[in-house]
Chains A and B, each alone.
Chain A
Protein backbone atom coordinates (compact mmCIF):
# COMPACT_ATOMS: atom_id res chain seq x y z
CA UNK A 1 0.00 0.00 0.00
CA UNK A 2 1.13 3.54 -0.79
CA UNK A 3 2.22 5.40 2.32
CA UNK A 4 1.36 9.08 2.50
CA UNK A 5 3.14 11.03 5.18
CA UNK A 6 1.25 14.15 6.22
CA UNK A 7 2.88 14.74 9.57
CA UNK A 8 5.81 16.99 8.64
CA UNK A 9 5.08 19.22 11.62
CA UNK A 10 5.84 16.28 13.92
CA UNK A 11 9.09 15.55 12.15
CA UNK A 12 10.55 15.34 8.65
CA UNK A 13 12.54 12.71 6.80
CA UNK A 14 16.24 13.56 6.53
CA UNK A 15 17.13 14.59 2.99
CA UNK A 16 19.60 12.45 1.07
CA UNK A 17 22.00 15.37 0.60
CA UNK A 18 21.93 15.96 4.34
CA UNK A 19 22.79 12.36 5.15
CA UNK A 20 25.57 12.35 2.57
CA UNK A 21 27.06 15.42 4.20
CA UNK A 22 26.86 13.82 7.63
CA UNK A 23 28.29 10.38 6.89
CA UNK A 24 32.03 11.19 6.81
CA UNK A 25 31.72 12.67 10.28
CA UNK A 26 30.83 9.31 11.77
CA UNK A 27 33.70 7.34 10.33
CA UNK A 28 36.40 9.66 9.00
CA UNK A 29 36.33 13.05 10.68
CA UNK A 30 35.25 11.65 14.02
CA UNK A 31 37.53 13.66 16.28
CA UNK A 32 36.45 15.53 19.38
CA UNK A 33 36.33 19.20 18.42
CA UNK A 34 38.13 20.08 21.66
CA UNK A 35 41.18 17.94 20.81
CA UNK A 36 44.42 19.47 19.66
CA UNK A 37 45.23 16.84 17.01
CA UNK A 38 44.19 17.06 13.39
CA UNK A 39 41.13 14.82 13.89
CA UNK A 40 39.89 17.29 16.47
CA UNK A 41 40.86 20.38 14.54
CA UNK A 42 39.07 19.22 11.42
CA UNK A 43 35.96 18.68 13.49
CA UNK A 44 36.40 22.11 15.05
CA UNK A 45 36.66 23.75 11.63
CA UNK A 46 33.49 22.16 10.34
CA UNK A 47 31.71 22.98 13.61
CA UNK A 48 32.46 26.66 13.15
CA UNK A 49 31.60 26.56 9.44
CA UNK A 50 28.25 25.04 10.32
CA UNK A 51 27.60 27.69 12.93
CA UNK A 52 28.39 30.40 10.40
CA UNK A 53 26.13 28.87 7.74
CA UNK A 54 23.18 28.70 10.09
CA UNK A 55 23.78 32.16 11.53
CA UNK A 56 23.76 33.61 8.02
CA UNK A 57 20.30 32.20 7.32
CA UNK A 58 18.86 34.31 10.16
CA UNK A 59 21.05 37.38 9.60
CA UNK A 60 23.02 36.80 12.78
CA UNK A 61 26.73 36.67 13.48
CA UNK A 62 28.20 33.22 14.21
CA UNK A 63 29.08 34.07 17.80
CA UNK A 64 25.39 34.46 18.64
CA UNK A 65 24.32 30.97 17.65
CA UNK A 66 24.68 28.03 20.06
CA UNK A 67 24.04 24.38 19.31
CA UNK A 68 21.76 22.42 21.65
CA UNK A 69 20.18 18.99 21.80
CA UNK A 70 17.01 20.25 20.10
CA UNK A 71 14.11 22.66 20.31
CA UNK A 72 13.03 21.58 23.79
CA UNK A 73 16.46 22.21 25.25
CA UNK A 74 16.64 25.59 23.55
CA UNK A 75 13.27 26.56 25.03
CA UNK A 76 14.36 25.42 28.49
CA UNK A 77 17.64 27.25 28.22
CA UNK A 78 16.15 30.53 26.96
CA UNK A 79 13.52 30.73 29.70
CA UNK A 80 15.38 29.28 32.69
CA UNK A 81 18.66 30.87 31.68
CA UNK A 82 17.31 34.38 31.20
CA UNK A 83 14.93 34.40 34.19
CA UNK A 84 17.52 33.04 36.61
CA UNK A 85 20.23 35.39 35.37
CA UNK A 86 18.04 38.48 35.63
CA UNK A 87 16.48 38.00 39.06
CA UNK A 88 17.72 41.42 40.09
CA UNK A 89 15.73 43.03 37.31
CA UNK A 90 12.50 41.20 37.99
CA UNK A 91 10.65 37.92 38.28
CA UNK A 92 7.95 38.20 35.63
CA UNK A 93 7.67 36.36 32.34
CA UNK A 94 4.96 36.72 29.70
CA UNK A 95 4.02 33.92 27.33
CA UNK A 96 0.87 32.61 25.62
CA UNK A 97 -1.57 29.80 26.28
CA UNK A 98 -0.78 28.08 23.00
CA UNK A 99 2.96 27.54 23.38
CA UNK A 100 4.58 24.16 22.88
CA UNK A 101 5.04 22.15 26.09
CA UNK A 102 8.75 22.92 25.81
CA UNK A 103 7.77 26.44 26.88
CA UNK A 104 4.67 25.79 28.99
CA UNK A 105 6.19 23.10 31.18
CA UNK A 106 9.33 25.19 31.59
CA UNK A 107 7.08 28.02 32.80
CA UNK A 108 5.47 25.70 35.35
CA UNK A 109 8.94 24.75 36.58
CA UNK A 110 9.88 28.44 36.84
CA UNK A 111 6.71 29.18 38.80
CA UNK A 112 7.84 26.57 41.32
CA UNK A 113 11.11 28.52 41.61
CA UNK A 114 9.10 31.61 42.50
CA UNK A 115 8.83 33.33 39.14
CA UNK A 116 5.54 34.77 37.97
CA UNK A 117 4.16 33.92 34.58
CA UNK A 118 1.37 35.58 32.59
CA UNK A 119 -0.24 33.33 29.99
CA UNK A 120 -1.82 35.49 27.28
CA UNK A 121 -5.10 34.42 25.70
CA UNK A 122 -5.42 34.06 21.97
CA UNK A 123 -8.40 34.82 19.75
CA UNK A 124 -10.43 32.27 17.79
CA UNK A 125 -7.75 32.22 15.07
CA UNK A 126 -4.94 31.71 17.53
CA UNK A 127 -3.54 35.26 17.54
CA UNK A 128 -2.37 37.00 20.68
CA UNK A 129 -3.49 40.58 21.25
CA UNK A 130 -0.70 43.15 21.11
CA UNK A 131 -2.71 45.42 23.40
CA UNK A 132 -3.07 42.66 25.98
CA UNK A 133 0.64 41.92 25.66
CA UNK A 134 1.61 45.51 26.30
CA UNK A 135 -0.85 45.77 29.19
CA UNK A 136 0.66 42.69 30.82
CA UNK A 137 4.14 44.22 31.05
CA UNK A 138 5.08 45.38 34.55
CA UNK A 139 8.27 46.81 36.03
CA UNK A 140 9.06 43.20 36.99
CA UNK A 141 8.84 41.82 33.44
CA UNK A 142 12.12 40.37 32.21
CA UNK A 143 11.13 38.30 29.22
CA UNK A 144 8.36 37.81 26.67
CA UNK A 145 8.30 34.39 25.00
CA UNK A 146 5.82 34.01 22.15
CA UNK A 147 6.08 31.27 19.55
CA UNK A 148 6.61 32.25 15.93
CA UNK A 149 4.32 29.61 14.41
CA UNK A 150 2.06 27.30 16.36
CA UNK A 151 2.72 23.61 15.83
CA UNK A 152 -0.93 22.52 15.92
CA UNK A 153 -3.02 25.14 14.18
CA UNK A 154 -0.22 26.83 12.25
CA UNK A 155 -1.03 30.41 13.29
CA UNK A 156 1.87 32.83 12.81
CA UNK A 157 2.23 35.65 15.35
CA UNK A 158 3.22 39.23 14.50
CA UNK A 159 6.73 38.60 15.75
CA UNK A 160 8.26 41.89 14.67
CA UNK A 161 5.56 43.93 16.43
CA UNK A 162 5.91 41.80 19.58
CA UNK A 163 9.64 42.49 19.63
CA UNK A 164 8.97 46.18 19.16
CA UNK A 165 6.68 46.29 22.19
CA UNK A 166 9.18 44.30 24.25
CA UNK A 167 12.02 46.64 23.41
CA UNK A 168 9.93 49.75 23.99
CA UNK A 169 9.60 48.55 27.59
CA UNK A 170 13.13 47.27 28.01
CA UNK A 171 11.98 43.66 28.02
CA UNK A 172 13.72 40.77 26.23
CA UNK A 173 11.95 38.82 23.50
CA UNK A 174 12.35 35.08 22.91
CA UNK A 175 10.54 33.21 20.18
CA UNK A 176 10.16 29.47 19.70
CA UNK A 177 10.71 29.34 15.94
CA UNK A 178 10.93 25.55 15.69
CA UNK A 179 7.99 25.42 13.26
CA UNK A 180 8.86 28.66 11.49
CA UNK A 181 12.53 28.17 10.70
CA UNK A 182 12.85 26.85 7.16
CA UNK A 183 9.23 27.80 6.41
CA UNK A 184 9.38 31.59 6.61
CA UNK A 185 12.29 33.98 6.16
CA UNK A 186 13.62 35.01 9.56
CA UNK A 187 15.84 38.00 10.21
CA UNK A 188 16.54 38.25 13.92
CA UNK A 189 17.63 41.88 13.67
CA UNK A 190 14.81 43.19 11.53
CA UNK A 191 12.31 41.20 13.61
CA UNK A 192 13.53 42.44 17.00
CA UNK A 193 14.30 38.93 18.24
CA UNK A 194 16.67 38.59 21.22
CA UNK A 195 16.57 34.82 21.61
CA UNK A 196 15.25 32.18 19.24
CA UNK A 197 14.86 28.38 19.43
CA UNK A 198 15.27 26.24 16.32
CA UNK A 199 15.44 22.50 15.70
CA UNK A 200 17.03 20.27 13.05
CA UNK A 201 14.42 17.58 12.61
CA UNK A 202 11.65 19.89 11.42
CA UNK A 203 13.68 21.05 8.43
CA UNK A 204 14.76 17.71 6.93
CA UNK A 205 17.76 17.48 9.22
CA UNK A 206 18.56 15.00 11.97
CA UNK A 207 16.78 14.66 15.32
CA UNK A 208 18.38 15.61 18.63
CA UNK A 209 20.11 18.72 17.33
CA UNK A 210 18.93 22.29 17.57
CA UNK A 211 20.09 25.71 18.45
CA UNK A 212 19.50 28.87 20.40
CA UNK A 213 20.22 32.30 19.00
CA UNK A 214 21.27 34.62 21.83
CA UNK A 215 21.81 38.24 20.91
CA UNK A 216 25.10 39.61 22.13
CA UNK A 217 25.12 41.13 25.57
CA UNK A 218 22.18 39.18 26.99
CA UNK A 219 22.55 37.88 30.53
CA UNK A 220 21.78 34.17 30.52
CA UNK A 221 22.73 31.31 32.85
CA UNK A 222 23.83 27.90 31.70
CA UNK A 223 21.52 24.96 32.21
CA UNK A 224 23.93 22.26 31.02
CA UNK A 225 27.10 22.56 33.08
CA UNK A 226 30.35 20.78 32.30
CA UNK A 227 33.05 21.26 29.71
CA UNK A 228 33.89 24.49 27.93
CA UNK A 229 32.07 23.73 24.68
CA UNK A 230 29.93 26.36 22.98
CA UNK A 231 32.06 29.12 24.44
CA UNK A 232 31.49 27.92 28.00
CA UNK A 233 27.74 28.11 27.66
CA UNK A 234 26.57 24.64 26.78
CA UNK A 235 28.64 21.68 27.88
CA UNK A 236 28.93 18.37 26.08
CA UNK A 237 31.08 17.00 23.27
CA UNK A 238 29.63 18.50 20.12
CA UNK A 239 27.39 16.29 18.01
CA UNK A 240 29.38 17.00 14.86
CA UNK A 241 27.43 14.75 12.45
CA UNK A 242 24.21 16.26 13.77
CA UNK A 243 25.54 19.78 13.54
CA UNK A 244 26.83 19.28 9.99
CA UNK A 245 23.49 17.77 8.98
CA UNK A 246 21.53 20.55 10.64
CA UNK A 247 23.63 23.18 8.85
CA UNK A 248 23.23 21.46 5.48
CA UNK A 249 19.46 21.21 6.00
CA UNK A 250 19.31 24.86 7.09
CA UNK A 251 21.20 26.09 4.06
CA UNK A 252 19.14 23.95 1.68
CA UNK A 253 15.94 25.23 3.27
CA UNK A 254 17.11 28.81 3.05
CA UNK A 255 18.15 28.54 -0.59
CA UNK A 256 14.86 26.96 -1.64
CA UNK A 257 12.64 28.91 0.70
CA UNK A 258 10.53 30.65 -1.93
CA UNK A 259 9.83 27.60 -4.06
CA UNK A 260 9.26 25.48 -0.94
CA UNK A 261 6.70 27.96 0.35
CA UNK A 262 4.96 28.28 -3.00
CA UNK A 263 4.61 24.55 -3.38
CA UNK A 264 3.43 23.97 0.16
CA UNK A 265 0.91 26.79 0.11
CA UNK A 266 -0.54 25.51 -3.16
CA UNK A 267 -0.93 21.96 -1.81
CA UNK A 268 -2.09 23.14 1.61
CA UNK A 269 -4.87 25.23 0.12
CA UNK A 270 -5.85 22.50 -2.28
CA UNK A 271 -6.11 20.04 0.59
CA UNK A 272 -7.96 22.40 2.91
CA UNK A 273 -10.35 23.64 0.25
CA UNK A 274 -10.94 20.11 -1.00
CA UNK A 275 -11.86 18.90 2.46
CA UNK A 276 -13.99 21.89 3.37
CA UNK A 277 -15.87 21.72 0.06
CA UNK A 278 -16.73 18.03 0.34
CA UNK A 279 -17.19 17.36 4.06
CA UNK A 280 -19.95 19.16 5.96
CA UNK A 281 -19.83 20.00 9.69
CA UNK A 282 -16.13 20.73 9.51
CA UNK A 283 -14.26 23.71 10.96
CA UNK A 284 -10.96 25.00 9.60
CA UNK A 285 -8.76 26.00 12.55
CA UNK A 286 -6.06 28.63 12.71
CA UNK A 287 -5.60 31.87 10.79
CA UNK A 288 -6.80 32.02 7.16
CA UNK A 289 -3.65 33.72 5.84
CA UNK A 290 -1.07 34.19 8.61
CA UNK A 291 -0.17 30.53 8.92
CA UNK A 292 2.41 27.84 8.36
CA UNK A 293 2.65 27.12 4.61
CA UNK A 294 2.05 23.40 5.15
CA UNK A 295 -0.43 23.30 8.02
CA UNK A 296 -4.03 22.13 7.68
CA UNK A 297 -6.02 21.71 10.89
CA UNK A 298 -9.69 20.82 10.76
CA UNK A 299 -12.25 19.66 13.32
CA UNK A 300 -14.88 17.23 12.18
CA UNK A 301 -18.00 17.31 14.30
CA UNK A 302 -19.52 14.15 15.81
CA UNK A 303 -16.40 12.01 15.55
CA UNK A 304 -13.25 11.50 17.54
CA UNK A 305 -9.70 12.18 16.41
CA UNK A 306 -8.03 8.92 17.30
CA UNK A 307 -10.62 6.93 15.37
CA UNK A 308 -9.93 9.23 12.44
CA UNK A 309 -6.16 8.70 12.66
CA UNK A 310 -6.48 4.92 12.86
CA UNK A 311 -8.79 4.88 9.85
CA UNK A 312 -6.46 7.13 7.88
CA UNK A 313 -3.51 4.97 8.87
CA UNK A 314 -5.33 1.92 7.55
CA UNK A 315 -5.39 3.73 4.19
CA UNK A 316 -1.70 4.52 4.46
CA UNK A 317 -2.16 8.15 5.47
CA UNK A 318 -0.26 9.52 8.48
CA UNK A 319 -1.72 12.53 10.30
CA UNK A 320 -2.09 13.71 13.86
CA UNK A 321 -4.81 14.92 16.20
CA UNK A 322 -5.27 17.04 19.30
CA UNK A 323 -7.98 14.79 20.74
CA UNK A 324 -7.73 13.62 24.33
CA UNK A 325 -7.29 10.01 23.27
CA UNK A 326 -4.21 10.84 21.28
CA UNK A 327 -2.75 13.29 23.79
CA UNK A 328 -2.85 10.62 26.47
CA UNK A 329 -4.78 12.90 28.81
CA UNK A 330 -8.47 13.46 29.46
CA UNK A 331 -8.55 16.84 27.79
CA UNK A 332 -8.09 17.73 24.17
CA UNK A 333 -5.04 19.84 23.33
CA UNK A 334 -4.53 23.11 25.21
CA UNK A 335 -4.23 24.91 21.89
CA UNK A 336 -7.66 23.87 20.65
CA UNK A 337 -9.21 24.79 24.00
CA UNK A 338 -7.38 28.14 23.95
CA UNK A 339 -8.95 29.10 20.61
CA UNK A 340 -12.30 28.52 22.27
CA UNK A 341 -13.36 25.19 20.83
CA UNK A 342 -15.71 23.20 23.06
CA UNK A 343 -14.35 19.82 24.15
CA UNK A 344 -16.62 17.82 21.87
CA UNK A 345 -15.46 19.72 18.78
CA UNK A 346 -11.80 19.67 19.81
CA UNK A 347 -11.96 15.87 20.18
CA UNK A 348 -12.55 15.62 16.42
CA UNK A 349 -9.44 17.50 15.35
CA UNK A 350 -7.12 16.45 12.57
CA UNK A 351 -3.78 18.01 11.66
CA UNK A 352 -2.38 17.22 8.24
CA UNK A 353 0.97 18.83 7.60
CA UNK A 354 2.45 18.99 4.15
CA UNK A 355 6.13 18.94 3.23
CA UNK A 356 8.63 18.82 0.42
CA UNK A 357 7.81 15.27 -0.63
CA UNK A 358 4.05 15.68 -0.72
CA UNK A 359 2.49 15.35 -4.17
CA UNK A 360 -0.74 16.53 -5.70
CA UNK A 361 -1.87 12.88 -5.97
CA UNK A 362 -1.30 12.49 -2.23
CA UNK A 363 -3.59 15.42 -1.63
CA UNK A 364 -6.32 14.11 -3.95
CA UNK A 365 -6.17 10.64 -2.41
CA UNK A 366 -6.32 12.10 1.09
CA UNK A 367 -9.40 14.19 0.34
CA UNK A 368 -11.16 11.15 -1.15
CA UNK A 369 -10.19 8.86 1.73
CA UNK A 370 -11.13 11.37 4.36
CA UNK A 371 -14.57 11.84 2.88
CA UNK A 372 -15.25 8.11 3.17
CA UNK A 373 -13.76 7.79 6.64
CA UNK A 374 -15.60 10.73 8.15
CA UNK A 375 -18.87 9.48 6.74
CA UNK A 376 -18.30 5.96 8.05
CA UNK A 377 -17.44 7.18 11.54
CA UNK A 378 -20.35 9.61 11.57
CA UNK A 379 -22.83 6.87 10.70
CA UNK A 380 -21.53 5.05 13.77
CA UNK A 381 -21.84 8.09 16.00
CA UNK A 382 -24.82 8.65 18.30
CA UNK A 383 -24.13 12.40 18.02
CA UNK A 384 -24.59 12.45 14.25
CA UNK A 385 -27.76 10.51 14.73
CA UNK A 386 -29.36 13.48 16.40
CA UNK A 387 -28.35 15.67 13.48
CA UNK A 388 -29.81 13.28 10.93
CA UNK A 389 -33.09 13.07 12.81
CA UNK A 390 -33.48 16.64 13.91
CA UNK A 391 -31.97 18.01 10.69
CA UNK A 392 -29.73 20.50 12.47
Chain B
Protein backbone atom coordinates (compact mmCIF):
# COMPACT_ATOMS: atom_id res chain seq x y z
CA UNK B 1 0.00 0.00 0.00
CA UNK B 2 1.13 3.46 -0.90
CA UNK B 3 0.04 4.98 2.43
CA UNK B 4 0.38 4.19 6.14
CA UNK B 5 -2.64 2.98 8.08
CA UNK B 6 -2.79 6.35 9.77
CA UNK B 7 -3.06 8.16 6.44
CA UNK B 8 -5.77 5.77 5.30
CA UNK B 9 -7.65 6.23 8.57
CA UNK B 10 -7.61 10.01 8.25
CA UNK B 11 -8.53 9.77 4.59
CA UNK B 12 -11.42 7.37 5.09
CA UNK B 13 -12.63 8.97 8.33
CA UNK B 14 -11.50 12.56 8.14
CA UNK B 15 -11.88 14.61 11.34
CA UNK B 16 -13.32 18.11 11.33
CA UNK B 17 -14.62 18.19 7.79
CA UNK B 18 -16.94 21.02 6.94
CA UNK B 19 -17.10 24.73 7.40
CA UNK B 20 -17.65 27.15 10.26
CA UNK B 21 -20.28 29.78 9.71
CA UNK B 22 -19.00 33.18 10.71
CA UNK B 23 -15.52 31.79 11.13
CA UNK B 24 -12.98 34.14 12.66
CA UNK B 25 -10.41 33.20 10.04
CA UNK B 26 -10.45 31.37 6.73
CA UNK B 27 -7.39 30.36 4.74
CA UNK B 28 -7.24 28.75 1.29
CA UNK B 29 -4.14 27.55 -0.52
CA UNK B 30 -3.34 25.47 -3.60
CA UNK B 31 -4.92 25.62 -7.03
CA UNK B 32 -7.18 23.49 -9.15
CA UNK B 33 -4.65 23.17 -11.92
CA UNK B 34 -2.30 21.20 -9.68
CA UNK B 35 -5.16 19.21 -8.28
CA UNK B 36 -5.19 20.28 -4.65
CA UNK B 37 -6.91 23.03 -2.75
CA UNK B 38 -7.17 23.25 1.04
CA UNK B 39 -9.41 25.57 2.95
CA UNK B 40 -9.25 25.84 6.74
CA UNK B 41 -11.74 27.68 8.98
CA UNK B 42 -10.95 28.66 12.56
CA UNK B 43 -13.05 29.93 15.45
CA UNK B 44 -11.03 31.83 18.06
CA UNK B 45 -11.89 32.65 21.66
CA UNK B 46 -9.32 34.85 23.38
CA UNK B 47 -6.09 33.43 22.12
CA UNK B 48 -7.42 29.91 21.79
CA UNK B 49 -8.59 28.07 18.69
CA UNK B 50 -11.88 26.65 19.89
CA UNK B 51 -13.02 25.16 16.60
CA UNK B 52 -11.44 24.26 13.31
CA UNK B 53 -12.84 22.74 10.13
CA UNK B 54 -11.54 22.02 6.68
CA UNK B 55 -12.53 21.37 3.08
CA UNK B 56 -10.06 19.84 0.68
CA UNK B 57 -10.01 19.01 -3.00
CA UNK B 58 -7.15 16.66 -3.59
CA UNK B 59 -5.63 13.24 -3.30
CA UNK B 60 -5.77 10.90 -0.32
CA UNK B 61 -2.75 12.40 1.41
CA UNK B 62 -4.03 15.96 0.96
CA UNK B 63 -7.26 15.02 2.72
CA UNK B 64 -5.40 13.10 5.45
CA UNK B 65 -2.93 15.94 6.01
CA UNK B 66 -5.80 18.44 6.37
CA UNK B 67 -7.54 16.17 8.82
CA UNK B 68 -4.45 15.62 10.96
CA UNK B 69 -3.53 19.30 10.93
CA UNK B 70 -6.97 20.30 12.22
CA UNK B 71 -6.71 17.69 14.95
CA UNK B 72 -3.28 18.89 15.98
CA UNK B 73 -4.36 22.49 16.49
CA UNK B 74 -7.82 22.00 17.95
CA UNK B 75 -7.89 23.74 21.35
CA UNK B 76 -4.38 25.12 20.96
CA UNK B 77 -3.41 28.77 21.30
CA UNK B 78 -2.72 30.77 18.16
CA UNK B 79 0.98 30.81 18.97
CA UNK B 80 1.02 27.05 19.40
CA UNK B 81 -0.86 26.59 16.13
CA UNK B 82 1.58 28.85 14.32
CA UNK B 83 4.40 26.65 15.51
CA UNK B 84 2.92 23.66 13.65
CA UNK B 85 5.24 22.41 10.93
CA UNK B 86 4.67 20.14 8.00
CA UNK B 87 7.14 17.75 9.61
CA UNK B 88 4.75 17.32 12.55
CA UNK B 89 1.93 16.60 10.15
CA UNK B 90 4.05 13.95 8.44
CA UNK B 91 5.10 12.43 11.76
CA UNK B 92 1.53 12.31 12.97
CA UNK B 93 0.58 10.48 9.77
CA UNK B 94 3.35 7.95 10.28
CA UNK B 95 5.12 9.19 7.15
CA UNK B 96 4.18 10.27 3.64
CA UNK B 97 5.70 9.11 0.35
CA UNK B 98 8.23 11.70 -0.92
CA UNK B 99 5.99 12.83 -3.79
CA UNK B 100 3.25 13.60 -1.27
CA UNK B 101 5.25 15.74 1.13
CA UNK B 102 3.85 18.87 -0.50
CA UNK B 103 0.44 17.91 0.89
CA UNK B 104 1.77 18.40 4.43
CA UNK B 105 3.25 21.76 3.42
CA UNK B 106 -0.13 22.76 2.06
CA UNK B 107 -1.78 21.89 5.38
CA UNK B 108 0.72 24.00 7.32
CA UNK B 109 0.24 26.88 4.89
CA UNK B 110 -3.56 26.68 4.89
CA UNK B 111 -3.54 26.97 8.65
CA UNK B 112 -1.15 29.95 8.55
CA UNK B 113 -3.39 31.57 5.95
CA UNK B 114 -6.44 31.15 8.21
CA UNK B 115 -4.61 32.67 11.18
CA UNK B 116 -3.31 35.49 8.99
CA UNK B 117 -6.90 36.20 7.94
CA UNK B 118 -7.95 36.30 11.58
CA UNK B 119 -5.02 38.54 12.51
CA UNK B 120 -5.70 40.96 9.65
CA UNK B 121 -9.40 41.23 10.41
CA UNK B 122 -8.66 41.97 14.05
CA UNK B 123 -5.54 44.07 13.56
CA UNK B 124 -3.48 41.64 15.60
CA UNK B 125 0.13 40.67 15.23
CA UNK B 126 1.66 37.31 16.01
CA UNK B 127 5.30 36.44 16.23
CA UNK B 128 4.71 33.29 14.18
CA UNK B 129 3.38 35.36 11.28
CA UNK B 130 6.46 37.56 10.98
CA UNK B 131 7.63 37.55 7.40
CA UNK B 132 4.47 35.72 6.31
CA UNK B 133 3.48 36.60 2.77
CA UNK B 134 -0.08 35.57 1.90
CA UNK B 135 0.59 35.85 -1.82
CA UNK B 136 3.60 33.60 -1.84
CA UNK B 137 3.19 30.43 -3.86
CA UNK B 138 2.53 27.86 -1.20
CA UNK B 139 2.37 25.17 -3.70
CA UNK B 140 5.78 23.68 -3.97
CA UNK B 141 5.69 20.14 -5.29
CA UNK B 142 9.45 19.92 -5.08
CA UNK B 143 9.59 19.91 -1.30
CA UNK B 144 10.91 16.51 -0.53
CA UNK B 145 11.65 15.52 3.00
CA UNK B 146 14.66 13.28 2.66
CA UNK B 147 13.95 11.60 5.97
CA UNK B 148 11.05 9.74 4.40
Within B51-77, the residues touching A (CB, 8 Å) are 55-60, 62-63
A385 at the interface (CB under 8 A from B): yes
User: When the two chains form the complex, which single residue of A306, A323, A380 contacts B17, counting CB atoms closer than 8 Å?
Assistant: A380
A303/B59 contact (C-beta < 8 A), A324-B34, A324-B35 known: no
Segment among B7-15, B82-90, B112-120, B124-132 that sits at the interface with chain A: B7-15
User: When the two chains form the complex, which single residue of A310, A311, A325, A382 contacts B35, counting CB atoms closer than 8 Å?
Assistant: A325
A328/B99 contact (C-beta < 8 A), A380-B56, A382-B56 known: yes
A385/B60 contact (C-beta < 8 A), A310-B11, A324-B34 known: no
A304/B8 contact (C-beta < 8 A), A323-B35, A343-B35, A380-B17 known: no
Residues of A within 8 A of B60 (CB): 306-307, 310
Shortest Cβ distance from B110 into chain A, in angstroms? 10
Q: Mark B17-33, 1 if CB is under 8 A from A, else 0.
A: 10100000000100011
A332 at the interface (CB under 8 A from B): yes
Residues of A within 8 A of B8 (CB): 310, 314
Check if A382 sits within 8 Å of B12, measured CB to CB: no
Residues of B within 8 A of A302 (CB): 57
User: When the two chains form the complex, which single residue of B17, B19, B34, B58 contacts A307, counting CB atoms closer than 8 Å?
Assistant: B58
Select the residue from A305, A306, A385 with max chain B CB neighbours within 10 A: A306
Check if B57 sits within 8 Å of A323, measured CB to CB: no
Check if B33 sits within 8 Å of A343, measured CB to CB: yes
Q: Mark A309-345, 1 if CB is under 8 A from B, else 0.
A: 0110010000000011100101010000000000110
Residues of A within 8 A of B12 (CB): 311, 314
B43 at the interface (CB under 8 A from A): no
What is the interface residue range for chain B against chain A? 20 to 34
A132 at the interface (CB under 8 A from B): no
Count residues on chain A whose CB falls below 8 Å from chain B CBs.
Answer: 24
A382/B28 contact (C-beta < 8 A), A324-B34, A343-B33, A343-B35 known: yes
B105 at the interface (CB under 8 A from A): no
Select the residue from B14, B58, B62, B99 with max chain A CB neighbours within 10 A: B58
Residues of A within 8 A of B39 (CB): 382
Check if B35 sits within 8 Å of A332, measured CB to CB: yes
In this complex, what residue of B is CB-closest to A332? B35
A307/B63 contact (C-beta < 8 A), A314-B12, A380-B56, A382-B28 known: yes
Within A342-392, the residues touching B (CB, 8 Å) are 343-344, 347, 379-383, 385
B145 at the interface (CB under 8 A from A): no
B93 at the interface (CB under 8 A from A): no
Shortest Cβ distance from B67 into chain A, in angstroms? 10
Shortest Cβ distance from B34 into chain A, in angstroms? 6
Check if B35 sits within 8 Å of A380, measured CB to CB: no
Shortest Cβ distance from A81 into chain B, in angstroms? 35
Check if A325 sits within 8 Å of B59, measured CB to CB: yes
Residues of A within 8 A of B63 (CB): 307, 380
B6 at the interface (CB under 8 A from A): no
Residues of B within 8 A of A307 (CB): 11, 58-60, 62-63
Q: Mark A13-40, 1 if CB is under 8 A from B, else 0.
A: 0000000000000000000000000000
In this complex, what residue of B is CB-closest to A381? B57
A343/B32 contact (C-beta < 8 A), A310-B60, A328-B99, A380-B17 known: yes
Residues of A within 8 A of B36 (CB): 304
Shortest Cβ distance from B15 into chain A, in angstroms? 12
Residues of B within 8 A of A306 (CB): 59-60
Check if B17 sits within 8 Å of A379, measured CB to CB: yes
Bound form: Cα–Cα A307–B37 in Å: 13
In this complex, what residue of A is CB-closest to B55? A382
Check if A344 sits within 8 Å of B59, measured CB to CB: no
Bound form: Cα–Cα A255–B135 in Å: 63
Check if A383 sits within 8 Å of B57, measured CB to CB: yes
Residues of B within 8 A of A330 (CB): 34, 141
Check if B11 sits within 8 Å of A382, measured CB to CB: no
Check if B58 sits within 8 Å of A304, measured CB to CB: yes
Residues of B within 8 A of A343 (CB): 32-35
User: When the two chains form the complex, which single residue of B57, B59, B99, B141 contacts A382, counting CB atoms closer than 8 Å?
Assistant: B57
Q: Mark A193-213, 1 if CB is under 8 A from B, else 0.
A: 000000000000000000000
Closest A-B pairs by Cβ, 8 of them:
A344-B32, A306-B59, A325-B59, A347-B35, A382-B55, A381-B57, A382-B39, A343-B33
Q: Which A residues have a C-beta under 8 Å from some C-beta of B?
A: 302-307, 310-311, 314, 323-325, 328, 330, 332, 343-344, 347, 379-383, 385
Q: 17 A-B residue contacts at CB 8 Å? A: A304-B35, A304-B57, A304-B62, A307-B59, A307-B60, A310-B60, A311-B12, A314-B12, A325-B35, A344-B32, A380-B55, A380-B63, A381-B55, A381-B56, A382-B39, A382-B55, A382-B57
